[in-house]
C-alpha cells in the first residue's frame, strides 16, 4: 500500500500548521486571520497571503451580516455549491441566477455575460447581502456599475474572479472605486470559486479555521 496520511483530523492539523509556518500572516488582524488561512487552504498556495486584500472592518461586517441572516448572492453555481450550509446559523438564502432564463435574457439586454445578467436579476436582493463572486470578472464589473448608478449596497463584497481577461482589472476597480463598501479580494489573476467560497465559509464559521 502507498504510504500517506489518512486520518482527516491529522490532515487538517498538518495543513493548517503548514500554512502557519509558510504564509506571511502577521499583517492580518485577528478577525481577518481565519479568512486568509481558509483562502490559502482552498488553493494550496501560501504566497496567496501576499495578494489578499481585506478592507478595514470587512471581516466584522461580513460576520455580522451573516449572523443577522443576510442573503448570499453568488455569481456561479460553483460558488453556491462550495458554501457550507451548516455554518449558516440563520438559514441564510443562498442565491444564484446564472442558469435562469431571466439571467440569459438580461445578459442580452445589458450586452454582457450570463453571470453579469444573474447579478442584475438579483438587484432587489443586494441591499445588505453578502455578494460572493468567484468566477466572472464581468459579474464584478457589473456589480460595481450597478452601485455607481445608485443600487443599494451589500454588506460585503467577496470579489475573487479568476482568469486572464478582466480579472486583475475588476478587482483593482473594486479596491479603487468602491472603498466605502467592505470587500475581500485577491490581487492578480488568481482567484476562483473555491477561494471565494472559502472566504465566506470562514466568516460564517466565526473565528474558527
Q: What are phi and psi of 95, to 5 degrees?
A: -115, 140
pLDDT in tens, the chain (209 residues): 899 989 999 999 999 999 999 999 999 999 999 999 999 999 999 999 999 999 999 999 999 999 999 999 999 999 999 999 999 988 899 999 999 999 999 999 999 999 999 999 999 999 999 999 999 999 999 999 999 999 999 999 999 999 999 999 999 999 997 668 999 999 999 999 999 999 999 999 854 55
pLDDT of residue 181: 93
pLDDT of residue 206: 59
Query: Is the pTM higher than 0.85?
Result: yes
pLDDT of residue 85: 94
pLDDT of residue 178: 66
Residues 209, 204: Cα–Cα separation, whole Å: 11
pLDDT of residue 151: 94
Which residues are tagged catalytic?
Answer: 41
Amino acid at each position: 500500500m502507498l504510504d500517506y496520511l489518512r486520518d482527516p483530523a491529522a490532515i487538517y492539523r498538518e495543513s493548517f500548521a503548514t500554512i502557519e509556518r509558510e504564509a506571511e500572516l502577521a499583517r492580518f488582524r485577528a478577525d481577518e486571520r481565519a479568512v486568509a488561512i481558509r483562502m490559502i487552504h482552498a488553493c494550496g498556495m501560501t504566497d496567496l497571503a501576499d495578494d489578499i486584500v481585506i478592507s478595514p472592518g470587512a471581516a466584522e461586517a461580513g460576520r455580522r451580516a451573516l449572523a443577522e441572516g443576510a442573503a448570499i448572492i453568488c455569481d456561479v453555481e460553483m460558488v453556491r455549491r462550495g458554501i457550507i450550509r451548516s455554518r449558516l446559523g440563520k438559514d441564510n438564502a443562498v442565491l444564484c441566477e446564472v442558469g435562469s432564463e431571466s439571467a440569459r435574457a438580461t445578459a442580452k439586454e445589458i450586452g454582457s455575460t450570463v453571470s453579469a445578467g444573474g447579478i442584475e436579476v438579483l438587484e432587489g436582493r443586494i441591499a445588505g447581502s453578502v455578494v460572493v463572486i468567484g468566477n466572472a470578472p464581468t459579474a464584478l464589473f457589473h456589480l460595481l456599475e450597478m452601485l455607481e448608478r445608485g443600487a443599494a449596497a451589500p454588506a460585503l463584497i467577496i470579489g475573487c474572479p479568476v482568469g486572464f481577461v478582466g480579472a486583475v482589472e475588476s478587482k483593482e476597480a473594486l479596491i479603487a472605486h468602491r472603498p466605502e463598501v467592505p470587500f475581500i479580494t485577491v490581487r492578480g489573476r488568481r482567484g476562483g470559486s473555491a477561494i471565494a467560497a472559502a472566504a465566506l465559509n470562514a466568516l460564517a464559521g466565526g473565528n474558527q479555521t
